[in-house]
Structure 1
């Protein structure tokens, strides 16, 4: 089971929200792009930082599930960048 082990934070260039997930003894640094939050998590363009973090928090279940799948698919990866395409339904 994964858990968030640090508070999410907006990247200095405002391109995404960084967070970390832990699975067992392994931690993985993750970023979800602002564009993905706008496209999939109802974040309005140009939103203030508080709203960005609220959208991230509201969508964290799905965001962390996608990140977890990526970690399992690439067990040696130490960082993950989630883009809008990562949230499309898989067939």
Structure 2
């Protein structure tokens, strides 16, 4: 299983988990919304920090793949992933 290059952090407002994608010399901050983890990764509402980070870690390969695809389509310095990004089309 892949691991994030930097340790993921729960945002102060508890609305998401921040992590970084590193590509060569470029680093991009990514945020996956807690709502996305609840909707697509079986995170229960009002989960504690340890559970949030566990669910993020378990789904990291998929989260990273979606983040990389979105970043290729729309290059930016800060990328936010919402529940819509994980919908299967």
TM-score by length of 1: 0.91
Runs of 4+ with deviation above 3 angstroms: none
Ranges in structure 2 where 5+ consecutive residues have no aligned partner: none
CA RMSD of aligned residues (A): 1.5
Is this contact kept in 2: 1:3–1:21, CA < 8 A?
Answer: no
Ranges in structure 1 where 5+ consecutive residues have no aligned partner: none
* 1:25 maps to 2:25: yes
Provide the rounded CA distance (Å) in 1 between the counterparts of 2:77 and 2:6.
Answer: 16
Name the counterpart of 1:87.
Answer: 86
Is this contact kept in 2: 1:4–1:22, CA < 8 A?
Answer: no
Provide the rounded CA distance (Å) in 2 between the counterparts of 1:8 and 1:14.
Answer: 13
Is this contact kept in 2: 1:3–1:22, CA < 8 A?
Answer: no
TM-score by length of 2: 0.93
Name the counterpart of 1:35.
Answer: 35
Shift of 1:3: 7.0
